[in-house]
Amino acid sequence: MLVFIIRRLLQSMLVLLAVSIVVFVGLYAVGDPVDILLPDDANQSERQAAIRSLGLDKPLITQYGIFLGKAVQGDLGTSFVFNIPSIELILSRMPATLELALCAMVIAVLIGIPLGLWAGLKPGSAADEVITTGSILGFSLPGFWQGLMLIMIFSVWLGWLPSNGRGTTGTIFGIETSFATWDGLRHLLLPAINLALFKLAMMIRLTRAGVRETMPLDFVKFARAKGVSEPRIVLVHVLKNILVPIVTVIGMELGSLIAFSTVTETIFAWPGMGKLIIDSINKLDRPVVVAYLLVVTMMFILINLVVDLLYATLDPRVRLKGVSE
């Protein structure tokens, strides 16, 4: 197991290196940040000074070399705009995004899997029709429109929930979070639902398909022939079998929720990483964008690693390379 984890982490170093090159070169090609950073009336010498101070006067390969040299020491550059280390900037925004993503995923899993089971166990029933049709809506209505509708209904018409910001935050275990206060939770609810709807639909689909596939199998019938009760058959025999694809998707989707909840964060003015990256791209704040993408890459690598480790616990037939006897 340990060998497997170490090998994977070493591989991830290569992935990070590749990503950093692609991102660095890509951003270089996009445009010159100096044009955006400096006021319009800046003169030539001010321009030169700025370029030098940002290190943009050196050739690309040297810039990358300097970046890499600092990166291995944990310094991913300093934001052009905020003038603080970009990694610090990202980490300061991370809790807001993490709590939003986790909350959305929990909603999707806790509601999606039971609904999927229900629909899958009674195919063709009225409940199945309603759940399946509902999941199509969740899939096909665009996220930004869902977000606007949520604000219109719950904030504007009903006035139940606030429509923007993070509200009052408290600290749990030294982490600043909206979970700690009632006001924070109220602020969290709408954006979390907005993010969750698509994932919820996906969970329903996935679970339903898995149940439909597994129920006719012989081992389910054999369990019945043993006299095992129906709840135990569904919750132990069937659910454990369909958990492998579900865990895979949860992992992938959790990653994408954390990394790409940009639209929702923008609509609900949620001060998370998604909003930061949009602002940084607009201002061509290279160090922040590079650092952000590296952080996101690392996060995906870690999530994939956890998912792979979960496979081995969920399905005994899975043997991880490097773990074999």
Binding site for other proteins (CB under 8 A): 216-219, 221-229, 232, 236-237, 240-241, 314-317
Scan for tokens 């905020």, then name that residue. Answer: 82
Secondary structure (3-state) at 177: strand
Task: Tell me, rounded to whole angstroms, the distance of Cα 202 from its chain centroid.
Answer: 15
What residues does 177 pair with on adjacent strands? Answer: 170
> In angstroms, what is the minimal distance from the CB of 241 to other proteins?
6
Secondary structure (3-state) at 309: helix
Give the CB-side neighbour count of residue 220, counting CA atoms within 13 A.
Answer: 19
> In angstroms, what is the minimal distance from the CB of 105 to other proteins?
23
Q: How far apart are CA 244 and CA 251, in angstroms?
A: 11
Q: Which is nearer to other proteins, 220 or 305 (CB)?
A: 220
Phi and psi based region of residue 272 (left: phi greater than 0; alpha: psi -120 to 50; beta: remaining): beta
Q: How far apart are CA 194 and CA 211, in angstroms?
A: 27
> In angstroms, what is the minimal distance from the CB of 1 to other proteins?
18
> In angstroms, what is the minimal distance from the CB of 24 to other proteins?
44
Task: Tell me, rounded to whole angstroms, the distance of Cα 42 from its chain centroid.
Answer: 40
Q: Which is nearer to other proteins, 107 or 233 (CB)?
A: 233
> In angstroms, what is the minimal distance from the CB of 232 to other proteins?
7
Q: How far apart are CA 57 and CA 152, in angstroms?
A: 50
Q: Which is nearer to other proteins, 39 or 216 (CB)?
A: 216
Q: Which is nearer to other proteins, 187 or 237 (CB)?
A: 237
> In angstroms, what is the minimal distance from the CB of 325 to other proteins?
12
Q: Which is nearer to other proteins, 52 or 240 (CB)?
A: 240
Q: Which is nearer to other proteins, 172 or 236 (CB)?
A: 236
Task: Tell me, rounded to whole angstroms, the distance of Cα 18 from its chain centroid.
Answer: 21
